[in-house]
């Protein structure tokens, strides 16, 4: 199973927008952007919403059938670990192996030595095609990187072999993710991480490093765009070189996580992949749920009331909702509107504050981030929330499609 050159990961917390998400992908394909959909949902989301991994497969298949999508599509077990992988085996054909728990813990001395031996020939001046500067690689330098990442990659290897046994070779796509770690990885670190992945025999088709800067959920990139662009381009060069050097899969490509709404870096990303003919996977951060709230608010009546109630309760439970996402949100509580203010808004005002339109004076990133993590409130509303999604399906779908197609796909991927 080979992942296509351009793929876009969509989350759908409440599993009602699969068709709208696919419609956006299809619009991009009509424009000559050959992108395929990947539906992803993590164990954390399943636990909060009380859904099971099979529901994602059911949703994807229903959307594909309803819209008669002839291209491929995948279901991603997002950020799985050994303790929860088995829940996802049947429903998924894409596995994002999360090894963050083991980053920073060292492998055994023997394992380190074997790995350093494997990398011996890169000691000295390393020049990577496509990167002007050369890198000075020392035994100690490799050892420092290996102590940080080797154990984690070995854990990914265990997870991969576990899946291999359950699903059979060639029947699934493997991603290795390191984005939920403390430190960004440099291009040189990425090169040796890929060496370790190859040595471990993992046929990774995507790799998700942690990039420089902050990738907060549902809001724009925070950091130096020029620095990000340089690293991103170097990472592309490193991957192309590592494929040849280590015999990794030909289609190995970068995966950008929490990729929703990173508008300031989409242009540089698109230019870089276009220039090199590289592939890209972008995994979004479940912001389709915010388009549901926007659609409900715009629908007025009961829909607007639900949107207002979600905000009121989210504000009351601020600490509880924000805690699990502390490293990927930045909310200034002083800039949050009071629930009374929000109750006085009409649908347009609610939508304007929530929708990520940077040219709109009413847009409030604090309001947006709190609602982003507030999906638990809607989950607790249960059938009342689902009934509203059905009632306001049309206006919600319009917003889901516009968000994915206009604000994401068109900006990220070049037409071919």
- Note whether 233 binds Zn ion by CB under 5 A: no
Is 209 or 295 the residue whose CB approaches Zn ion more closely? 209
**Closest residue to Zn ion, based on beta-carbon distance:** 257
- Note whether 45 binds Zn ion by CB under 5 A: no
Start-to-end Cα distance in the chain: 23
Phi-psi region of 50 (alpha: psi -120 to 50; beta: other; left: phi over 0): left
Write the interaction track for Zn ion spanning residues 125-164; mark x where CB under 5 A is met and - where it is not.
----------------------------------------
Is 178 or 242 the residue whose CB approaches Zn ion more closely? 178
- Choices 31-39, 186-194, 253-261, 312-320; region in contact with Zn ion by CB under 5 A: 253-261
Is 179 or 234 the residue whose CB approaches Zn ion more closely? 179
Min dist. Cβ of residue 189 to Zn ion (A): 17
- Choices 16-24, 51-59, 179-187, 391-399; region in contact with Zn ion by CB under 5 A: 179-187
Is 44 or 275 the residue whose CB approaches Zn ion more closely? 44
- Choices 80-88, 196-204, 255-263, 351-359; region in contact with Zn ion by CB under 5 A: 255-263
- Note whether 257 binds Zn ion by CB under 5 A: yes
C-alpha span between 341 and 103 (Å, rounded) = 45
C-alpha span between 198 and 222 (Å, rounded) = 32
Is 16 or 257 the residue whose CB approaches Zn ion more closely? 257
Is 69 or 94 the residue whose CB approaches Zn ion more closely? 94
Q: How many angstroms separate the Cα of 325 from the Cα of each of 39, 98, 117, 322?
A: 21, 17, 40, 5
Tokens encoding 81 = 């670990």
Is 178 or 290 the residue whose CB approaches Zn ion more closely? 178
- Note whether 179 binds Zn ion by CB under 5 A: yes
Pick from 373, 386, 366: nearest CA to 306:
386
C-alpha span between 287 and 120 (Å, rounded) = 45
For residues 208-224, one letter each, b for 16 or more C-beta atoms within 10 angstroms of the residue's C-beta and e for the rest, the string is: bbbbbbebbbbbbbeee
- Note whether 41 binds Zn ion by CB under 5 A: no
Q: Exposed, middle or buried, 59 (CB in 10 Å: 0-12/13-18/19+)?
A: buried
Min dist. Cβ of residue 319 to Zn ion (A): 23
Name the H helices within 129-186.
139-167
Min dist. Cβ of residue 6 to Zn ion (A): 19
Give kind and range of the element (H or E) at residue 219: none
Identify the three-state secondary structure at position 78.
strand
Give kind and range of the element (H or E) at residue 329: none
Question: Which residues ranging from 309 to 328 are in contact with Zn ion (CB under 5 A)?
Answer: none
- Choices 40-48, 250-258, 314-322, 330-338; region in contact with Zn ion by CB under 5 A: 250-258
Contact criterion met (CB below 8 Å) for 185 and 210: yes
C-alpha span between 38 and 93 (Å, rounded) = 10
Min dist. Cβ of residue 102 to Zn ion (A): 15
Sign of the four-CA dihedral 310, 312, 313, 316: positive
Is 93 or 179 the residue whose CB approaches Zn ion more closely? 179
Using CB under 5 A as the criterion, which residues of the chain lie in contact with Zn ion when the complex forms? 179, 257
């Amino acid at each position: 199973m080979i992942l296509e050159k351009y793929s876009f990961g969509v989350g759908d917390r409440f599993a009602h927008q699969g068709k709208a998400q696919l419609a956006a992908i299809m619009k991009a394909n009509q424009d000559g952007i050959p992108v395929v959909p990947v539906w992803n949902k993590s164990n954390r989301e399943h636990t909060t919403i009380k859904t099971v991994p099979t529901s994602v497969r059911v949703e994807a298949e229903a959307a594909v059938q309803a819209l008669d999508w002839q291209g491929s599509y995948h279901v991603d077990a997002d950020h799985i670990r050994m303790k929860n992988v088995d829940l996802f085996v049947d429903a998924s054909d894409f596995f994002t192996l999360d090894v963050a728990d083991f980053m920073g813990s060292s492998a055994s001395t023997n394992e380190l030595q074997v790995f350093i031996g494997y990398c011996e020939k890169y000691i000295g001046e390393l020049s990577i095609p496509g990167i002007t500067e050369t890198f000075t690689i020392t035994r100690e330098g490799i050892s420092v990187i290996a102590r940080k990442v080797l154990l984690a990659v070995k854990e990914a290897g265990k997870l991969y072999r576990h899946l291999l046994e359950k699903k059979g070779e060639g029947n699934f796509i493997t991603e290795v993710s390191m984005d939920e770690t403390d430190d960004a990885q440099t291009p040189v670190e990425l090169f040796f991480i890929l060496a370790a992945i190859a040595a471990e025999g993992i046929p990774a088709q995507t790799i998700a490093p942690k990039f420089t800067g902050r990738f907060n959920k549902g809001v724009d990139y925070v950091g130096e765009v020029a620095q990000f662009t340089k690293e991103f381009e170097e990472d592309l060069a490193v991957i192309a070189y590592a494929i040849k050097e280590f015999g990794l899969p030909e289609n190995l490509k970068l995966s950008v996580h929490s990729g929703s709404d990173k508008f300031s870096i989409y242009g540089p990303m698109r230019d870089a992949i276009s220039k090199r003919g590289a592939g890209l996977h972008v995994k979004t951060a479940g912001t389709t749920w915010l388009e549901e709230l926007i659609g409900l608010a715009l629908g007025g009546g009961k829909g607007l009331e639900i949107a207002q109630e979600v905000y009121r309760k989210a504000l009351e439970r601020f600490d509880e909702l924000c805690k699990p996402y502390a490293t990927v949100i930045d909310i200034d509580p002083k800039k949050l509107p009071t629930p009374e203010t929000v109750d006085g808004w009409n649908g347009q005002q609610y939508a304007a504050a929530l929708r990520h339109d940077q040219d709109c004076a009413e847009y409030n990133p604090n309001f947006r981030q709190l609602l982003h993590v507030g999906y638990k409130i809607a989950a607790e509303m249960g059938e009342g929330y689902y009934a509203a999604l059905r009632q306001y399906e049309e206006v919600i779908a319009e917003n889901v499609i516009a968000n994915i197609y206009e604000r994401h796909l068109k900006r990220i991927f070049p037409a071919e």
